[in-house]
């Protein structure tokens, strides 16, 4: 960062990283005329209107774009590989209007045809403040391109109760800017900025190379190297529905890089089973059940992020956890289990003008060498029909079916000794029967007339 008297570096840099943007806060011993330059790549990622100075009153502010240093410079143009390059002078850098020094003629060239005598700087934007006085000031702005995301790994060792659960926080710098960070705060929750769509369009239009905003010598870089340090993430608690975490040790966030650290030490409860959810249909179906996992957060808020599941060291699925408060449960599928099947037979018993009766016969079968837990849901989602379910079969079979507000459910009851929702090994079967009566209310003449209109 430049001032009228030369280069100054921030005394302290803090990142406050939200799910979709980052607030950068840098403390300076600022002169009265405080001037800084942002490369085009960095400035295009800054949220419009977010640049501000805290600590000292501002008398004026000015933003001026600057072209690169090519104008009036000597370059060489090679149009064909078998020709000698032509010595030229740059007249206009934006559209590469050139003048051939030998012939004095003007022409335009392509960038891939240029050979430079000096290193060309990139376009940049100058932001200058006139402060009421010099002193300690904090420059803050919001930027896209720096984000963080939790990464979770679940390893099931032998059964539902033996597993390890690890969490990592990965900070990604998608910009071409290096940041020397003294303190970092990570925010998890739902935070939105107005104008994010417009900012994204500006980022997409930016294609220029970036020049570092903070310049440091190799000696300073070595002193600030965090590779030998052990960094930790502390939980700060909840604020206005957001959860805060902090990294109080300094580190370097390199351009186009991802920096990862162990995250929260959370306890979860995992349930593994096979399951299937079907909408009611009058047709017979033969289906395989899905491999399912249900995770419950026991003692920590879990910010949403990717989850990798392994069983006995082998990858079995990848999913994404939503934000989960303590006590929340999340269920996800990881593909079908070919060894557990459902044969669903449906028979029409009777049909009238405004009603129909169906008999449903379910046969679940497990050909594994081990027993499995299973769940089944059948949803009646016809809004125009009222339904009634009549359970059939033995008392034990009827006891295993739960009639819900939108259909039926069969599941294993945790903490009980019954065999509801359990399939024995080596061809074990469970059979369930019920009847479904659908009633279609008669439509009044007035409603039919309105629909025709």
pLDDT digits 0-9 by tens, 216-246? 333 344 444 445 556 778 877 777 778 899 9
Question: Which domain-ending residue is among 88, 120, 152?
Answer: 120
Residue 446 belongs to a domain:
no
Using the predicted structure, report yes or no on whether residue 374 has a pLDDT greater than 90: yes
Whether 330 and 258 map to the same domain: the answer is no
Average confidence score pLDDT of the chain? 83
Lowest average pLDDT, out of 61-70, 165-174, 197-206, goes to 197-206
CA 265 from chain centre, in angstroms, equals: 21
- Residue 87 banded pLDDT, cuts 50, 70, 90: very high
DSSP string, 24-93: EEEEEEE-SEEEEEEEHHHHHHBPTT--EEESS-EEEEEEEEE--TTTT-EEEE-SSTTSPPEEEEEEET
CA–CA dist 146, 171 (Å, integer): 7
> What's the whole-number mean pLDDT along residues 123-140?
90
Q: Are residues 89 and 135 in the same domain?
A: no
> CA–CA separation, 197 vs 295, rounded Å?
34
> Within a domain: residue 450?
no
Tokens of 400: 């295993």
Residue that is last in its domain, among 216, 246, 262: 262
DSSP character string of 342-389 = EEEEEEEEEEETTEEEEEEEEEEEE-SSS-EEEEEEEE---TT-EEEE
Position 2 scores a pLDDT of 41
Unique residue bearing structure tokens 């079916």? 401
Look at residue 449 and tell me whether its pLDDT is greater than 90: no
Residues 39 and 82 in one domain: no
Give the confidence band of 417 by pLDDT, cuts at 50, 70, 90: very low
Same domain, 55 and 179: yes
Q: Is the pLDDT of residue 210 over 50?
A: no
Measured CA to CA, the distance from residue 314 to residue 335 in angstroms comes to: 15
Q: Are residues 115 and 232 in the same domain?
A: no
% of the chain with per-residue pLDDT over 70? 83
Q: Can you tell me the distance from the alpha carbon of 371 to that of 376, in angstroms, rounded to the nearest whole number?
A: 16
pLDDT for position 209: 33
pLDDT for the residue 119: 75
Q: Is residue 449 part of a domain?
A: no
C-beta separation of 104 from 91 below 8 A? no
Say if 448 falls within a structural domain: no
Please give the pLDDT value at position 200: 45
Q: How high is the pLDDT of residue 414?
A: 52
Residue 216 belongs to some domain of the structure: yes
58 pLDDT more than 90: yes
**Residue 66: per-residue pLDDT:** 73
Residues 85 and 200 in one domain: no
Mean pLDDT for 165-187 is 91
Q: What is the pLDDT of residue 192?
A: 62
How do residues 382-395 score in pLDDT, each as one tens digit? 777 889 999 998 88
pLDDT of residue 83: 84
Say how many domains are in the chain. Answer: 3
pTM of the model: 0.70
Residue 26 lies in a domain: yes
**Is 99's pLDDT higher than 90?**
yes
What is the per-residue pLDDT for 191? 62
Question: Of the residues 262, 282, 310, which one is the last residue of a structural domain?
Answer: 262
- Quick one: 172 and 279 in the same domain? no
Q: What is the pLDDT of residues 278-311, one digit of tens each?
A: 999 999 999 999 999 999 999 999 999 999 999 8
The residue among 64 and 428 whose pLDDT is bigger is 428
pLDDT higher than 60, residue 105: yes
Average pLDDT of span 148-158: 91
Q: pLDDT at position 276, please?
A: 95
Indicate whether 234 and 334 sit together in one domain. no
Is a pLDDT exceeding 50 seen at residue 146? yes
Average pLDDT over residues 340-350: 96
Residue 361, domain member (yes or no): yes
- As a whole number of angstroms, the distance between CA 392 and CA 284 comes to 18
- Same domain? For 185 and 244 the reply is yes
Are 309 and 372 contained in the same domain?
Answer: yes
Phi, psi (degrees; rounded to nearest 5) at 207: -130, 5
What pLDDT, on the 0 to 100 scale, is given for residue 427? 94
Query: Phi/psi of residue 397, each to 5°?
Result: -65, -45
What residues make up the domain containing 106? 74-120
Residues 309 and 410 in one domain: yes
pLDDT for 301 equals: 92
Q: Are 364 and 278 spatial neighbours (Cβ–Cβ below 8 Å)?
A: no
pLDDT at 438 (0 to 100): 92
pLDDT at 281: 92
Question: 250 versus 82: which is more confidently predicted?
Answer: 250
Q: Looking at the domain assignment, is residue 453 inside a domain?
A: no
The reply to whether 62 and 79 lie within a common domain is no
């Amino acid at each position: 960062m430049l001032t009228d008297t030369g280069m100054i570096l921030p005394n302290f840099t803090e990142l406050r990283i939200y799910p979709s943007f980052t607030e950068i806060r840098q403390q300076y011993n600022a002169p009265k005329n405080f001037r800084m330059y942002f490369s085009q790549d960095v400035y295009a990622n800054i949220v419009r209107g977010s640049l501000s100075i805290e600590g000292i009153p501002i008398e004026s502010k000015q933003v001026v774009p600057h072209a690169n240093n090519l104008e009036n410079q000597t370059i060489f143009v090679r149009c064909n590989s078998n020709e000698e390059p032509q010595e030229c002078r740059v007249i206009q850098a934006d559209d590469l209007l050139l003048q051939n020094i030998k012939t004095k003629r003007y022409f335009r060239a392509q960038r891939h045809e240029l050979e430079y005598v000096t290193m060309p700087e990139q376009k940049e934007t100058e932001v200058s403040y006139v402060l009421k006085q010099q002193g300690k000031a904090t420059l803050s702005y919001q930027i896209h391109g720096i984000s963080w995301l939790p990464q979770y790994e679940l390893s099931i060792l032998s059964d539902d109760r033996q597993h390890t659960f690890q969490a990592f926080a990965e900070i990604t710098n998608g910009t071409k800017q290096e940041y020397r960070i003294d303190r970092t705060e990570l925010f998890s929750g739902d935070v939105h900025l107005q104008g994010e769509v417009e900012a994204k369009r500006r980022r997409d239009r930016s294609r220029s190379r970036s020049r570092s905003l903070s310049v440091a010598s190799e000696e300073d870089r070595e002193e600030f190297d965090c590779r030998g340090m052990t960094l930790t993430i502390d939980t700060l608690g909840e604020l206005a529905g957001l959860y805060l975490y902090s990294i109080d040790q300094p580190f370097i966030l390199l351009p186009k890089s991802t920096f990862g650290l162990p995250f929260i030490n959370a306890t979860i409860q995992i349930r593994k089973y096979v399951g299937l959810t079907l909408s009611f249909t009058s047709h017979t179906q033969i289906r395989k059940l899905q491999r399912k996992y249900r995770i419950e957060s026991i003692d920590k808020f879990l910010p949403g992020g990717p989850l990798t599941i392994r069983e006995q060291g082998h990858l079995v699925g990848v999913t994404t956890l939503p934000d989960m408060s303590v006590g929340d449960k999340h269920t996800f599928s990881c593909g079908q289990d070919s060894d557990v099947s459902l044969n669903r037979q449906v028979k029409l018993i009777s049909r009238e003008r405004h009603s129909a009766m169906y008999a449903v016969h379910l046969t679940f079968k497990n050909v594994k060498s081990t027993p499995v837990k299973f769940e089944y849901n059948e949803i009646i989602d016809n809004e125009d029909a009222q339904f009634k379910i009549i359970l059939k079969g033995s008392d034990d079979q009827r006891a295993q079916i739960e009639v819900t507000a939108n259909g039926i459910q069969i599941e294993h009851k945790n903490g009980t000794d019954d065999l509801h929702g359990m399939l024995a090994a080596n061809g074990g079967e469970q059979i369930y029967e019920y009847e479904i009566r659908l009633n279609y209310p008669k439509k009044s003449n007035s409603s039919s007339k309105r629909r025709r209109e």
